């Protein structure tokens, strides 16, 4: 048997080993890469961001999937929850699959760990598993508290602080459905024509191509497609919602002009396309907070009691001042206080592992896609050469 | 060993049982497969009991005394007669009750799946892309219209629909590859990070 | 008789639903929907679960009785089903209970792994089955390769126009073909729903008398 015949008859278990290695190796060696954002993701981000800080707006996340599609959908859900908790957007979560209930708990608990001020019933509300999807979708258009009655913990909805200002779809104006199949169908068919609800979906990539007609017709205002959509959203959250300006004092609610100070910053295309923003969404571990001299002065002015410590920590590099967080000892951390430590940690622009899972996955995806393309090309080369030889004989 | 690590190891064990099928069919895989079905079914039953039966049947009938709901409860039990050869016709009643909703699906379905899509296909042709979309939509629709033979100039136009579909399916295929690999990436991330703790 | 009454329920109920979709009248929206249909739908739907339980139990008991191939594994099914039910009914379904632990650490990993096997099969199929046998298949493979490369971060390193080309493929030809197919499917499903509504399509009632 010549080499091409042997190639064609290769035992499939060798192919499995190549696939496994092609994914294990990139996952164990993180490197920085850039996921280009697409309009469906950006539109969804902007719509959720427009609800930032508003008491009379909320989003609903419908977890219409089970554990099988979690690798693609869970990072999206975590990224959106992180966006909402950063920018003070009210969130409601719900599922119509019994198997979806633990997934909601995982997602909320995983994100809540980093936001000690976020409370159930005030900033978010989990409806848990509710049967009879169709009835819920229509009922919430009239009155959410009457339709849902209680949340997952059994508390009556009308008593919860989060329901202040939220009656029905006019206020809970965006529903995002996460599903591995038929995402958004119920909302687009029943809730949108009757109540004008905005609908977006987070789908596995398998269904993404089928959703484009709905995107173009406006029935969907945005879409996150698979792991790439999750990676794009994580990047947007890192660049905008999780961004902290060293100059601004986020602990006060209003600045001197009476404008509301919200954490993060709004979406801006120039910021997104600027090369400097790439440094805000790096995958590798970041330990250095870099300030311009003016920023460092303004930052120090926020913590006058720790001025001496800050001056000793800040090192001059070129024309910037750098604080390396690994050089902060536990005694220094206790002395400066948890608030200042957290702010320096933020300014290193380091992302926790759980908030960059999709981007790390996309690195492995790059290698895997090249591998599949190589397989296709090799398979076709072998096939055509075989065919030519057979024709010659 | 912490409880979390132990739980992750249990998950990893069952993950590897299922992965072992790739080498060849073996007793570990068979046993794990049956356990998966058993636990899924048990979970569904317990959850349905706690979240649907107790609040909407038991509490409404016994505690709130809405005795009229005994009728749909009995109707629900009629589902089980599906397995009986003599009394199988009783199971048609609950099925008929749930099929009633199809009446609402007609106008809503026409609106969402047909009318809105048609309206968006009938926009002013301001750019080349919109013209291409219109030509493609009509060609694809005509491709599936089999009452007229695909011959001559009509056949050539309809053939354009075939090319559009090939590109569309190619895009779907590319995205499907990404989706499948993402699922594997998720599992390997679990094994590599949560169990072996290589990256945290 | 045994088919007529269910058929009448579907036709009359379906017509009331059609009226519900168009009319904001109080009798339809409040009395029919909120007070009649919703509570009845909740009450009857919980029993549908028992169908699945009964069906699988019957299948596995028959397998054990007949000593069909791999009949021993049916004991694993029964054991895991009974243990899960006992854990759920006795121990409760709150977080931290044995029931939820079993679900989160046994069922969820296994269910996710079953799906992840598809990646391996896809790779084998890519190597052994995806052949550019005709011009159409070649166009399909080329479109797939462009979209695959553009999805990953590597794509923008290969060519900075790749994401734009891939987005164009998704926004124009893909959209046109999916829209055409969706219109066809929509028309078909509306036709079938109408047939059910008017009593022409009766296959959902099952065979027999």
DSSP letter for each residue of chain B: --HHHHHHHHHHHHHHHHHGGGT---HHHHHHHHHHHHHHHHHHHHHHIIIIIIIIIIIIIIIS--GGGHHHHHHHHGGGGGG-SSSGGGGHHHHHHHHTTHHHHHHHHIIIIIIHHHHHHTS---SHHHHHHHHHHHHHHHHT-TTS---HHHHHHHHHHHHHHHHHHHHHHHHHHHHHHHHHHHHHHIIIIIIS-S--
At A131-165, the pLDDT tens digits run 877 778 888 988 899 888 889 888 999 999 999 99
Q: Calculate what percentage of chain A has a pLDDT beyond 70.
A: 100
Q: Which of A15, A35, A138 comes nearest C153 by C-beta?
A: A35
Q: In chain A, what residues touch C37 (CB-CB under 8 Å)?
A: 135
pTM for the predicted model, two decimal places: 0.91
Quote the pLDDT of residue B199.
56
Partners of residue A198 on adjacent β-strands: A174
Partner-chain contact B181 C122, CB within 8 Å: yes
Quote the pLDDT of residue B198.
62
Quote the pLDDT of residue B33.
94
Of the candidate ranges B134-148, C16-30, C60-74, C175-189, the one whose mean pLDDT is the lowest: C16-30
Q: Write the CB contacts of A204 (distance below 8 Å, at least 6 apart in sequence).
A: A69, A72, A73, A180, A226, B179, B182
pLDDT higher than 90, residue C101: yes
> Which residue in chain C is spatially nearest to B135 when comparing CA positions?
C176
Closest CA to A212 of C150, B178, C179, B180: C179
Quote the pLDDT of residue A181.
83
The answer, for B26 touching chain A at a CB cutoff of 8 Å, is no
Quote the pLDDT of residue A1.
56
Alpha-carbon Rg of chain A, whole angstroms? 25
Quote the pLDDT of residue C204.
84
pLDDT higher than 90, residue B40: yes
To the nearest whole number, what is the mean pLDDT of chain C? 90
pLDDT higher than 80, residue C140: yes
At A355-370, the pLDDT tens digits run 999 999 999 999 999 9
Partner-chain contact A192 B184, CB within 8 Å: no
Of the candidate ranges A90-99, A229-238, A331-340, the one whose mean pLDDT is the lowest: A331-340
Angle at A128 between CA A150 and CA C57, to 5 degrees: 120
The answer, for A369 touching chain C at a CB cutoff of 8 Å, is yes
Q: In chain A, what residues touch B117 (CB-CB under 8 Å)?
A: 213, 217
Task: Provide the H-helix boundaries in A237-292.
Answer: 269-273
pLDDT higher than 80, residue A255: no
Give the pLDDT band of residue B193 (cuts 50, 70, 90).
confident
Q: In chain B, what residues touch A156 (CB-CB under 8 Å)?
A: none
Interface test with A, best of C114, C127, C157 (most A CBs within 10 A): C127
Q: In chain B, what residues touch C196 (CB-CB under 8 Å)?
A: 99, 102
Q: What are the respective helix, strand and coil percentages of chain A, to the nearest 5?
A: 55, 15, 30
Give the pLDDT band of residue A254 (cuts 50, 70, 90).
confident
At A66-123, the pLDDT tens digits run 888 999 999 999 999 999 999 999 999 999 988 899 999 999 999 999 998 899 999 9
At A274-287, the pLDDT tens digits run 888 888 888 888 99
CA dist A190 and A167 (Å) reads 18
pLDDT higher than 90, residue B87: no
Quote the pLDDT of residue A142.
87
Quote the pLDDT of residue C109.
93
CA distance C105 to chain B (A): 5
ipTM of the complex: 0.86
Quote the pLDDT of residue B169.
94
Quote the pLDDT of residue A32.
87
Quote the pLDDT of residue A2.
74
């Amino acid at each position: 048997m010549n080499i091409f015949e042997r190639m064609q008859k290769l035992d499939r278990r060798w192919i499995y080993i190549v696939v496994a290695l092609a994914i294990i190796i990139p996952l164990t060696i993180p490197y920085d890469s850039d996921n280009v954002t697409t309009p469906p993701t950006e539109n969804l981000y902007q719509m959720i961001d427009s609800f930032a800080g508003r008491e009379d707006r909320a989003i609903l996340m419908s977890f219409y999937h089970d554990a099988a599609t979690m690798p693609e959908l869970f990072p999206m859900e975590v990224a959106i929850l992180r966006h909402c908790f950063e920018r003070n957007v009210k969130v409601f979560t719900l599922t119509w699959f019994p198997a979806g209930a633990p997934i909601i708990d995982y997602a909320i608990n995983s994100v809540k760990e980093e936001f000690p001020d976020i409370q159930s019933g005030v900033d978010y509300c989990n409806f848990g598993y509710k049967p009879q999807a169709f009835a819920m979708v229509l009922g919430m258009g009239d009155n959410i508290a009457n339709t849902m009655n209680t949340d997952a913990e059994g508390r009556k909805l009308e008593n919860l602080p989060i329901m202040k200002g939220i009656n029905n779809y006019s206020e809970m104006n965006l529903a995002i459905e996460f599903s591995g199949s038929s995402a958004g169908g119920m909302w687009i068919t029943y809730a949108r024509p009757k109540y004008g609800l905005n609908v977006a979906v987070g789908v596995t990539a398998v269904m993404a191509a089928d959703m484009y007609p709905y995107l173009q017709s406006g029935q969907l205002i945005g879409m996150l497609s698979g792991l790439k959509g999750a990676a794009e959203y994580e990047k947007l959250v890192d660049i905008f919602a999780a961004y902290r300006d060293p100059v601004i004092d986020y602990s006060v609610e209003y600045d001197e002009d009476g404008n509301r100070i919200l954490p993060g910053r709004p979406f801006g295309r120039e910021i997104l396309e600027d090369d400097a923003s790439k440094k805000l969404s790096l995958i590798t571990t970041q330990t250095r907070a870099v300030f311009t001299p003016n920023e460092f002065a303004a930052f120090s002015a926020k913590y006058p009691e720790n001025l001496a410590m800050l001056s000793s920590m800040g090192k001059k590099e070129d024309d910037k001042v750098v604080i390396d967080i690994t050089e902060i000892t536990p005694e220094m951390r206790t002395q400066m206080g948890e608030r200042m430590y957290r702010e320096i940690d933020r300014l290193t622009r380091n992302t926790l592992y759980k908030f960059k899972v999709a981007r790390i996955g996309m690195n492995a995806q790059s290698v895997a896609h090249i591998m599949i393309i190589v397989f296709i090309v090799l398979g076709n080369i072998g096939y055509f050469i075989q065919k030519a030889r057979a024709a010659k004989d | 060993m912490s409880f979390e690590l132990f739980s992750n190891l249990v998950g990893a064990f069952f993950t590897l049982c299922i992965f072992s099928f790739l080498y060849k069919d073996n007793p570990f895989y068979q046993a794990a497969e049956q356990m998966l079905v058993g636990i899924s079914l048990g979970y569904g039953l317990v959850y349905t009991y706690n979240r649907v039966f107790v609040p909407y049947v038991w509490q409404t009938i016994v505690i709130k005394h809405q005795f009229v709901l005994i009728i749909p409860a009995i109707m629900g039990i009629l589902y089980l007669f599906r397995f009986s050869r003599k009394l199988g016709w009783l199971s048609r009643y609950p099925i008929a009750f749930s099929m009633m909703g199809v009446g609402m699906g007609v106008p809503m379905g026409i609106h969402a799946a047909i009318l809105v899509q048609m309206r968006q296909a009938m926009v002013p042709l301001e750019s080349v892309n919109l013209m291409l979309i219109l030509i493609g939509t009509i060609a694809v629709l005509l491709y599936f219209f089999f009452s007229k033979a695909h011959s001559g100039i009509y056949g050539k136009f309809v053939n354009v629909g075939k090319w559009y579909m090939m590109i569309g399916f190619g895009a779907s295929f590319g995205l499907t590859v990404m989706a499948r690999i993402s699922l594997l990436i998720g599992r390997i991330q679990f094994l590599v990070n949560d169990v072996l703790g290589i990256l945290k | 008789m045994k088919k007529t009454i269910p058929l009448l329920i579907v036709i009359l109920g379906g017509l009331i639903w059609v009226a519900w979709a168009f009319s904001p009248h109080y009798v339809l929206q409040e009395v029919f929907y909120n007070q009649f249909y919703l509570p009845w739908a909740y009450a009857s739907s919980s029993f549908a679960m028992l169908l699945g339980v009964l069906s699988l139990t019957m299948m596995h008991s028959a397998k054990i009785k007949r000593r069909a191939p791999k009949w021993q594994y049916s004991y694993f099914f029964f054991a895991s089903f009974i243990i899960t039910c006992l854990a759920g009914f006795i121990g409760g379904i709150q977080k931290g209970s044995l029931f939820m632990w079993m679900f989160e650490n046994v069922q969820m990993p296994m269910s996710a792994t079953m799906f992840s096997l598809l990646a391996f099969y896809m790779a084998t199929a890519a190597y052994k089955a995806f052949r550019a046998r005709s011009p159409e298949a070649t166009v399909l493979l080329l479109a797939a390769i462009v979209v695959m490369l553009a999805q990953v971060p590597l794509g923008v390193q290969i060519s900075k126009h790749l994401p734009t080309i891939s987005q164009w493929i998704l926004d124009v030809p893909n959209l046109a073909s999916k829209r055409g197919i969706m219109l066809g499917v929509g028309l078909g499903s509306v036709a079938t729903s109408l047939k059910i509504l008017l009593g022409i399509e009766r296959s959902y009632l099952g065979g027999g008398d």
